[in-house]
């Protein structure tokens, strides 16, 4: 398993984002993917042109190096009369080779820059934008009450388990305190998720929440949404918005052992998001905040296993949502709403009674070889040849679940029924108002 991973050869490089061989053979497929994402398909032609210039530059430099070797041998065997002319050619060749090497480097950098502008190739996702998702299934009926329901913040404040006012006083908008039973409710939910992950072959990890730029970039998070990420300039480190980042970097520049099947991790961490561009949206309560906790599943597998592993991650999310007793639906996210690294993504959305709609609780993404190619994470195939691995991720529990748990399990007197699976952690069946 992962413990037998060994270091790959050569230094870590953060390139080869899109498989260039695939691009050369299937340019229209990549263009169609760009269109499905609402992104520029002409980037494909730009990358192909840059790739052609690079190959020409490599060919020219290799030809000059070959001639340099020939001259070296010829000079050693030449007569005094011949040697002078050969030495003159060798001197001229040095300048040509220096220029060719610089051109080769420049061409390589142009290819890398063009590659980093292309997102992963969409696989099977609906076309369109944020509103063009496809609903795949519903679980449970939207909760109906014979009284006027309170929202999660009113409930949390009356139960004495959420304190947004003091969170704002101490840290600013979109921060909060979870208190007493609220803290136990979250810890219980995350512990239940960790147990479920362990029972299904995941190794639970508590990873770093600060990562280097190359790791953040390698996972595809430093693109057009980089303003969502907190950056510590003095330390040149980023705060993660999901433990997916640290788990993806865990095997960077390694050849991992997939001979016994996929390698699975579950990262428990605090997560941080600037929520740039969301001002005025979901400012009430803890639905969209700057800091939250999450249990994130992460899988390394062979590319041909990725679609099956994606469904398994979704199945585990279904099981967890059933355990916390909230009605939800599963959607197939449209290409234009995918992150740069995802080829396909399924979201689960819980019913939020006071909003009269479904809101996202989990996502699970198939990133195919996009991240592993950038991070140089490989495995050996049956013939022993290194191949690029596939990576997937999926949320198994996170802070915003408390919104759906509180609202869907409230009673007319302002109390909230604790889902049965969480009662051993909270220590009670009912949360009672304290004011």
Confirm or deny that 141 is annotated as ligand binding: no
Please indicate if the annotation marks 374 as binding a ligand.
Answer: no
278 is a catalytic site residue: no
For 430, the enclosing helix (H) or strand (E) is strand 430-431
Q: Please indicate if the annotation marks 360 as binding a ligand.
A: yes
The answer on whether 363 is annotated among ligand-binding residues is yes
For 288-355, give the DSSP string.
S-SEEEEEEEEEEE-GGGHHHHHHHHHHHHHHHHHHTT--EEEEE--GGGS-TT-SEEEEEEEEETTT
Question: Of residues 217, 269, 363, 365, which has the active-site annotation?
Answer: 363
Is 289 within any annotated ligand binding site? yes
Task: Report the distance separating Cα 435 and Cα 237, nearest Å.
Answer: 43
Q: Is 308 among the catalytic positions? A: no
Could you tell me the sign of the dihedral formed by the alpha carbons of 28, 34, 38, 42, in that order? negative
Does the annotation list 275 as a binding residue?
A: yes
Specify the 3-state DSSP secondary structure of 388. strand
Is 244 known to sit in a ligand binding site?
yes
Q: Does 273 participate in catalysis according to the annotation?
A: yes
Choose, from 83, 288, 380, 423, the residue flagged as catalytic. 288
Instruction: State yes or no: 171 annotated in a binding site.
Output: no
Residue 30 tokens read as 């990549």
Is 361 annotated as ligand-binding? yes
- Note if 344 is an active site residue: no
Q: For residue 431, say whether it is annotated as part of any ligand binding site.
A: no
Residue 281 tokens read as 């949206």
Three-state DSSP at 285 gives coil
Q: Does the annotation mark 195 as catalytic?
A: no
What letters, b where the CB count within 10 A reaches 16 and e where it falls short, cover 266-295? bbbbebbbbbeeeeeebeebbbbbbbbbbb
242 annotated as a binding-site residue: yes
Question: Does 274 carry a binding-site annotation?
Answer: yes
Longest dimension (CA), the chain: 107
Apex 242 CA angle, 239 and 244, nearest 5: 115
383 within 8 A of 280, measured Cβ to Cβ:
no
The beta strand positions in 151-262, using DSSP E, are 162-163, 177-178, 203-205, 210-211, 231-232, 237-239, 254-256
- Cα(103)–Cα(309) distance, rounded to whole angstroms? 43
Would the annotation count 305 as a binding residue? Answer: no
- Which of these is catalytic: 174, 264, 344, 400? 400
Distance of alpha carbon 41 from alpha carbon 192, whole angstroms: 44
Q: Which of 46, 89, 108, 360 is catalytic?
A: 360
Q: Please state the residue numbers annotated as binding site for L-serine.
A: 242-244, 273, 296, 393, 395
Q: Which residues are annotated as a binding site?
A: 242-244, 273-275, 289-292, 296, 360-363, 393, 395
Which residues define the annotated binding site for ATP? 273-275, 289-292, 360-363
The catalytic residues are: 273, 288, 360, 363, 400
């Amino acid at each position: 398993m992962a413990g037998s991973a060994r270091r790959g050869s050569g230094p870590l490089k953060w390139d080869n984002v899109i498989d260039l061989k695939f691009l050369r053979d299937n340019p229209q497929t990549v263009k169609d993917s760009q269109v499905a994402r609402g992104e520029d398909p002409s980037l494909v032609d730009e990358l192909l042109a840059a790739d052609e210039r690079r190959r020409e530059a490599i060919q020219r430099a290799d030809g000059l190096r070959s001639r340099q070797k020939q001259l070296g041998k010829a000079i050693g065997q030449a007569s005094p009369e011949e040697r002078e002319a050969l030495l003159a050619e060798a001197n001229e060749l040095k300048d040509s080779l220096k220029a060719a090497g610089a051109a080769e480097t420049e061409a390589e950098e142009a290819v890398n820059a063009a590659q980093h502008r292309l997102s992963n190739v969409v696989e099977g996702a609906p076309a369109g934008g944020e509103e063009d998702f496809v609903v795949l299934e519903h679980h449970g009926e939207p909760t109906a009450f014979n009284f006027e329901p309170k929202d999660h913040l009113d409930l949390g404040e009356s139960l004495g388990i959420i304190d947004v006012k003091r969170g704002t006083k101490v840290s600013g908008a979109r921060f909060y305190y979870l208190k007493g039973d609220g803290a136990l409710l979250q810890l219980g939910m995350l512990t239940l998720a960790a147990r479920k992950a362990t029972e299904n072959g995941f190794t639970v990890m508590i990873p770093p929440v600060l990562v280097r730029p190359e790791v953040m970039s390698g996972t595809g998070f430093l693109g057009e949404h980089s303003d969502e990420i907190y950056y510590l300039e003095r330390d040149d480190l980023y705060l993660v918005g999901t433990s997916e980042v640290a788990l993806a970097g865990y095997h960077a520049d390694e050849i991992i052992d997939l001979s016994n099947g996929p390698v699975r991790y579950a990262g428990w961490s605090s997560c941080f998001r600037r929520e740039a561009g969301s001002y005025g949206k979901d400012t009430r309560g803890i639905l969209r905040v700057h800091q939250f906790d999450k249990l994130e599943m992460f899988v390394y597998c062979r590319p041909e296993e990725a679609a099956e592993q994606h469904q398994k991650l979704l199945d585990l999310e279904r099981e967890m949502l059933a355990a916390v007793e909230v009605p939800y639906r599963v959607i197939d996210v449209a290409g234009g709403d995918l992150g740069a690294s995802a080829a396909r993504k399924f979201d689960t959305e819980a019913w939020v009674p006071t909003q009269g709609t479904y809101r996202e609780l989990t996502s699970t993404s198939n990133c195919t070889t996009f991240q592993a190619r950038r991070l140089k994470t490989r495995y050996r195939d049956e013939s022993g040849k290194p191949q690029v691995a596939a990576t997937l991720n999926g949320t198994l529990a996170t802070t915003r679940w408390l919104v759906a748990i509180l609202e869907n399990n409230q009673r007319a007197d302002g109390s909230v029924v604790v889902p049965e699976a969480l009662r051993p952690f909270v220590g009670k069946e009912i949360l009672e108002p304290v004011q």
